[in-house]
A and B are shown apart, each in its own frame.
Chain A
Amino acid sequence: MIRLCGISLLALFLSACASGGAQPPAPLSVSDLPDLERLIVYVNSIDQLSRQLDQEYQAQARPDCPKLCGLADNICSLAEKICLIAERNPDILKIERRCQDGLKSCQKGRAQLDPTCPC
């Protein structure tokens, strides 16, 4: 009796999750399987639905743009400072390399933010 109640609750949970906008799961035809295997199938279905919901949530959630833009700005302004020092010291190749590294990091940082945060 308790097992039946548990399985009913699982089935109810599955149908509730399916109506929440996620892709409805394929109908389960598990009536012929032994209880334990049936339970495993249900648990796997719950896992799959939970992952789908997480993905949908992540897709809709917003990143912390002010924080991300602030860090990207820091990288670019520090690169700028290094390049200004490099300009003053054209004979020191190490500084020029640091300048180029910094500019690459600046571009990379901006590119990482482009699709989500218009800084």
Chain B
Amino acid sequence: MKLSWVAIVLGLGLTVFSCARPSPSDNWLEQARLLNQPGPQTRPQLERLLTAPLPPAWSAQDARWVRKDIHFRLACLDLDAKNPKAALARAEAGLALGQERDLFTANLLIARAQALENLHRDLEAAEAYHQALQINEILLAQALAEPRTKP
């Protein structure tokens, strides 16, 4: 009898303790919410997100998309700050995660193209823009083949 009470109290204590600890999802959501208010903290927050532990429920694909998007946003900040070399490095880092036929890759290619254009590497810039264009073409074909919405 005494033992079962101890077990109940311990169980309750553990439950309360585990609920009180912020989960990785909470951290991610909170940081993502803060990023919607761009300011001087945006860059360090984005950089922190790149190394933060991912919510355990996320698939590897979801994690890759989010990280590619973060690299793209960092590249945009570098472009805004007139730092095309840093933007190019950011875009390359994002593309190194995998070049798929999705908007995240297209965005990174556009950031790469803009950085190359600013560095006067026009031929490479045109190639990167063209690769992004081809991805958009594929996405358009896929969207046209999708089932339509109800009237």
Contact = CB atoms under 8 A, between A and B. Distances in A.
Contacts, number: 79
B129 A81 contact: yes
Interface residues of B, number: 25
Interface of A: prevailing SS: helix
Contacts of B132: 74, 78
A86 B126 contact: yes
Contact of A64 (B113, B126, B149): B149
B117 interface: yes
Interface in A70-106: 71-72, 74-75, 78-79, 81-82, 85-86, 88-89, 92, 94-95, 98-99, 101-102, 105
A86 to B, nearest CB: 7
A102 B117 contact: no
Contacts of A82: 126, 129-130, 133
B16 interface: no
A63 B148 contact: yes
A31 interface: no
Interface residues of A, number: 30
A75 B125 CA distance: 16
Contacts of A89: 122-123
A71 B127 CA distance: 19
Interface of A: 58, 60-64, 67-68, 71-72, 74-75, 78-79, 81-82, 85-86, 88-89, 92, 94-95, 98-99, 101-102, 105, 109, 112
